[in-house]
C-alpha cells in the first residue's frame, strides 16, 4: 500500500467578512476576525491534498493571555468531530471540498474574552505532529446568546445598548434637563485594542497576569476592573478627575465631544491619564468600553444625587439668617446631578431575582475592596432596600434615597431645622429613550413612589441595615417614625418670570400665602425675607454670594401676595462656573415669633443655540455639505471661539476650527464638507466653546446611504 503524502496546510481563510457580519461586529471592519462567544464561526483550510478523516488527525488549539493554561481556561485543545458537543470548545460540521476543509468552530458562552491565537496540530496515525498557526481572533461577550450571562432577549434593545455608537448624557437640573450629545465610537478601528489595553494595565493584571486573564470570562469581574480603570486614582487609568475649575493643564470636562479622542490620547501616551474628566465623561467612556466588549450598557443621570460618605442616610446642609448657603468640612454633599452606568447581566453571585440592570460608577468617590470603583449593584436590590447585597449597594442606595436636613446656623451652632426633605434626592433618574433622542425617566425602577407606604417601609428597612447597632442612638430614625416637622404660618414659592438665558437679567417672582398654623391660627403676620444668590458648583457646594436683597411683607390671614425680584446680569456675569447654575435662597423670618422659613430656586441658564443643516442626501464616500449657524444672543461678545466636530462614520477623529470673536447680536455661518465612511444612522456632534461660554452644543442625526445605493 502506498504511503499517503503528509498533510500540509497551505492557506487559511478566516472568513472575517462573513463571520463578523453574523457576529454583529462588522462595524469594527473586516480586516480581522472578531467573534462573540457561544456562537459558531467558520473557517476554510486549504491543504496539500484532500483531507482524509480516517487517517488525518487535526487538533485545534486556542490560546489567550500571557501564560495560556487549560486549568485556568485560557487554553483550549479540541478535536475535529462530526457532532458538536454542548457549550465547550469544538470544531465540527466539517465538509471536504477537494483540498479544502470547511469547518465550524464553537466557543463556549462562558469562555474568557480577549485576543486569541488559533493553531492546528496535524498528525497521521501514530506519527509526530506538525503545528501551524492559523491566525488570531478577538472573542467578545455575546448578548445575542441565551447561554451568555449578558444575554438580552430584545433586538431593539440590543441595537440601542450594544450597537448604537452615539447617544446623549443628561445634565443640568431636574427641572432644566439638557441633552448633551456624545460620540461613543465603540466600533472605531482601534478602540477594541485600547479596551483590552485598559484591562492589561489594571492593578489585577500587573499583580498576576495569568489569573487576571482567567477571570475575564466573568462579566462581574470585568465590569469592576473597567470601573476602576476609567479613573486614575489607584492606577494609570484613562481619566484624571478635576473638580477645581482650573483646567489649564488639560481639557475642561465640558469640552469633550466623545470617548474616541480620550481613549486614543490615553493609549498614545502610554497609559498616562487624560486630563480631565468629571462624572459624565467617566460614565460615557465606560459606556464605550463596555459596549465594545459586548455588554449592553447605558448612561444614567441622577438629579440631586447624594454623596453620603458616613452611610447615615442623611445629608445636612446649612444656611445663615441672611440665606447664604454655608460651606462645610463634611464630605457629604448633594450633587446637582451625577452620572453613572447600568450594565445588563445575570448575577449568579446573588440570590435569584437580582438579574438585569446593574449600576456601575467609574467616578472616583469611595473605595470598594481597596480600589476606587463602584458596582455592580443590582437596581432591583436598590429598589427593595436589600443593601447587604454586593457590590456597593448601600452607597448607591443613598445616592437616590438619602434624606436632606436643612439647618439654620446662628453663631456657628445649628439652631433650627428649616426643612426635612424626604423626597428631594434622587430626582428624574434619566437615560436615553430607546430609538429616540428624548430622555426617559427610570426613577420607578430605583424606588417606589416618594411618600408611598412601600417607599417609607423600604427606607426604614435599609436604614436599619446600614445604621446597624447605632439604631438605638439614632434621633434621625426617631424623627422619621414620629411623623413630620412643625407647620408653617406661610407658604413661600419662587418662580421664574421668563426663560433664564445667560447674558440676560433674571426676573423672579416671590409668592407668599398666609395659611393657619398652631402658633398663629388667625391674624396677620410680618415677615422679613432675606435673599441670597450664589453660583452652584457641580459637586453641591456654592461660591460666595453674588446678589443680596431684602423685602418686608405684611400678610393678612388667607391672603396671597406677589413680589417681583430682579437679578441683574452684571451681578453674575463673571461669578458663575462653566455650568451656569445659580441657587437663589430666601429665608423669611416671622417677626412675631423669630421662627424662620426657607425658599429655594435653582436656575440653569440657557446658552445660545446653534443649528446644523445638511443640504443633500448623505452617501458613503461622497461630499456632504454641512452648514453650522450660531447667533450670539448675549449682551457681550464671545471671544476665542473654537469649533470641534466629531461623529463616528462621518468624521475621522475630529475637525477643529478657530472662529475668532463673535460680536453680540451677530451671526456666524460655517460651511464645510464631510466624507462619510460608514452607512446607516449616524450623528454629527458640534461643540463651540469660548472664553465666556464653554458649552454651546448641537447635533444632527444623519442617515448615510451605502455607496452607489439608489
Query: Catalytic positions, please?
Result: 279, 338, 361
- Is position 188 annotated in a ligand binding site? no
- Is position 401 annotated in a ligand binding site? yes
Instruction: Please state, as a whole number, how many other Cβ atoms lie within 10 Å of the Cβ of residue 518.
Output: 8
d(CA 315, CA 328): 11
d(CA 610, CA 628): 7
Contacts (Cβ under 8 Å, ≥6 apart) of 318: 325, 326, 328, 406, 407, 408, 409, 414
Which residue is associated with the grid cell 412675631? 592
- The CA distances from residue 528 to 322, 375, 531, 552, 625, in Å, are 10, 48, 10, 5, 60
d(CA 15, CA 33): 8
User: By the 8 A CB rule, do 94 and 79 touch?
Assistant: no
Which residue is associated with the grid cell 460618605? 309
Contacts (Cβ under 8 Å, ≥6 apart) of 409: 318, 319, 320, 326, 415
Query: Which three cell numbers mark 203?
Result: 492593578
Helices (H) and strands (E) in the chain, counts: 14, 37
- Is position 455 annotated in a ligand binding site? yes
First to last CA, the chain: 62
- Is position 606 annotated in a ligand binding site? no
d(CA 222, CA 533): 45
d(CA 316, CA 201): 39
Strands of 242-355 (E only): list them. 274-277, 297-307, 314-319, 333-345
- Taken as a whole, the chain contains a residue count of 710
Q: In what order do the strands lie in the sheet with 403-410?
A: 314-319, 403-410, 413-421
Which residue is associated with the grid cell 450664589? 534
Contacts (Cβ under 8 Å, ≥6 apart) of 468: none
Binding residues: 401, 403, 450, 455
Q: Where is the binding site for Ca(2+), in residues?
A: 401, 403, 450, 455
Amino acid at each position: 500500500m502506498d504511503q499517503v503524502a503528509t498533510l500540509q496546510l497551505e492557506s487559511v481563510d478566516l472568513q472575517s467578512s462573513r463571520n463578523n457580519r453574523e457576529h454583529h461586529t462588522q462595524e469594527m471592519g473586516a480586516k480581522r476576525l472578531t467573534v462573540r462567544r457561544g456562537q459558531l464561526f467558520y473557517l476554510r483550510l486549504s491543504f496539500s491534498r484532500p483531507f482524509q478523516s480516517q487517517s488525518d488527525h487535526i487538533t485545534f488549539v486556542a490560546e489567550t493571555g500571557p501564560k495560556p493554561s487549560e486549568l485556568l481556561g485560557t487554553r483550549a485543545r479540541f478535536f475535529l468531530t462530526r457532532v458538536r458537543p454542548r457549550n465547550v470548545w469544538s470544531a465540527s460540521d466539517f465538509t471536504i471540498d477537494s483540498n479544502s476543509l470547511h469547518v465550524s468552530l464553537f466557543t463556549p458562552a462562558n469562555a474568557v474574552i480577549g485576543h486569541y491565537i488559533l493553531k492546528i496540530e496535524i498528525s497521521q496515525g501514530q506519527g509526530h505532529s506538525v503545528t501551524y498557526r492559523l491566525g488570531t481572533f478577538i472573542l467578545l461577550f455575546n448578548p445575542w446568546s441565551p447561554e451568555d450571562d449578558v444575554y438580552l432577549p430584545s433586538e431593539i434593545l440590543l441595537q440601542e445598548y450594544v450597537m448604537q455608537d452615539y447617544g446623549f448624557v443628561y445634565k443640568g437640573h431636574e427641572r432644566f434637563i439638557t441633552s448633551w450629545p456624545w460620540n461613543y465610537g465603540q466600533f472605531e478601528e482601534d478602540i477594541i485594542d485600547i479596551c483590552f489595553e485598559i484591562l492589561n494595565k489594571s492593578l489585577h493584571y500587573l499583580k498576576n497576569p495569568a489569573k487576571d486573564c482567567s477571570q475575564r470570562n466573568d462579566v462581574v469581574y470585568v465590569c469592576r476592573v473597567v470601573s476602576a480603570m476609567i479613573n486614575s486614582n489607584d492606577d494609570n487609568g484613562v481619566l484624571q478627575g478635576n473638580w477645581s475649575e482650573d483646567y489649564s493643564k488639560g481639557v475642561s470636562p465640558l469640552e469633550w465631544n466623545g470617548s474616541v479622542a480620550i481613549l486614543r490620547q490615553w493609549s498614545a501616551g502610554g497609559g498616562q491619564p487624560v486630563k480631565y474628566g468629571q462624572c459624565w465623561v467617566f460614565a460615557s467612556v465606560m459606556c464605550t468600553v463596555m459596549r465594545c466588549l459586548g455588554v449592553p450598557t447605558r448612561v444614567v443621570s441622577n438629579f440631586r444625587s447624594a454623596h453620603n460618605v458616613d452611610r447615615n442616610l442623611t445629608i445636612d446642609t446649612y444656611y445663615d439668617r441672611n440665606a447664604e448657603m454655608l460651606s462645610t468640612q463634611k464630605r457629604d454633599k448633594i450633587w446637582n446631578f451625577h452620572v453613572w452606568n447600568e450594565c445588563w447581566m445575570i448575577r449568579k453571585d446573588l440570590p435569584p431575582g437580582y438579574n438585569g440592570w446593574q449600576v456601575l460608577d467609574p467616578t472616583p468617590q469611595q473605595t470598594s475592596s481597596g480600589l476606587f470603583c463602584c458596582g455592580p449593584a443590582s437596581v432591583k436590590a436598590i429598589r427593595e432596600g436589600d443593601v447587604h447585597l454586593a457590590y456597593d449597594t448601600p452607597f448607591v442606595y443613598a445616592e437616590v434615597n438619602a434624606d436632606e436636613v436643612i439647618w439654620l446656623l446662628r453663631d456657628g451652632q445649628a439652631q433650627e431645622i428649616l426643612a426635612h426633605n424626604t423626597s428631594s434626592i434622587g430626582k428624574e433618574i434619566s437615560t436615553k429613550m430607546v430609538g429616540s433622542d428624548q430622555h426617559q425617566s427610570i426613577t420607578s425602577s430605583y424606588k417606589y413612589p416618594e411618600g408611598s407606604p412601600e417607599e417609607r417601609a423600604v427606607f426604614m428597612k435599609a436604614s436599619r441595615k446600614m445604621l446597624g447597632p447605632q439604631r438605638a442612638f439614632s434621633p434621625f430614625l426617631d424623627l422619621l417614625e414620629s411623623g413630620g416637622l412643625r407647620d408653617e404660618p406661610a407658604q413661600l414659592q419662587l418662580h421664574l418670570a421668563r426663560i433664564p438665558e445667560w447674558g440676560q437679567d433674571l426676573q423672579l417672582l416671590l409668592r407668599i400665602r398666609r395659611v393657619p398654623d398652631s402658633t398663629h391660627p388667625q391674624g396677620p403676620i410680618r415677615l422679613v425675607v432675606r435673599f441670597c444668590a450664589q453660583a452652584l458648583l457641580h459637586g453641591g457646594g456654592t461660591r460666595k454670594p453674588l446678589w443680596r436683597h431684602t423685602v418686608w411683607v405684611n400678610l393678612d390671614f388667607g391672603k396671597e401676595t406677589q413680589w417681583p425680584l430682579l437679578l441683574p446680569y452684571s451681578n453674575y456675569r463673571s461669578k458663575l462656573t462653566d455650568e451656569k447654575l445659580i441657587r437663589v435662597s430666601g429665608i423669611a423670618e416671622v417677626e412675631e415669633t423669630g421662627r424662620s422659613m426657607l425658599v429655594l430656586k435653582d436656575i440653569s441658564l440657557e446658552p445660545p443655540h446653534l443649528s446644523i443643516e445638511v443640504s443633500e442626501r448623505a452617501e458613503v464616500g461622497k461630499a456632504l455639505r454641512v452648514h453650522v449657524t450660531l447667533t450670539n444672543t448675549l449682551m457681550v461678545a464671545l471671544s476665542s471661539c473654537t469649533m470641534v466636530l466629531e461623529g463616528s462614520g462621518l468624521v475621522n477623529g475630529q475637525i477643529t476650527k478657530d472662529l475668532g470673536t463673535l460680536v453680540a447680536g451677530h451671526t456666524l455661518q460655517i460651511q464645510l464638507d464631510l466624507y462619510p465612511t460608514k452607512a446607516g444612522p449616524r450623528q454629527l456632534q458640534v461643540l463651540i466653546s469660548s472664553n465666556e461660554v464653554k458649552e454651546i452644543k448641537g447635533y444632527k442625526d444623519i442617515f448615510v446611504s451605502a455607496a452607489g445605493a439608489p
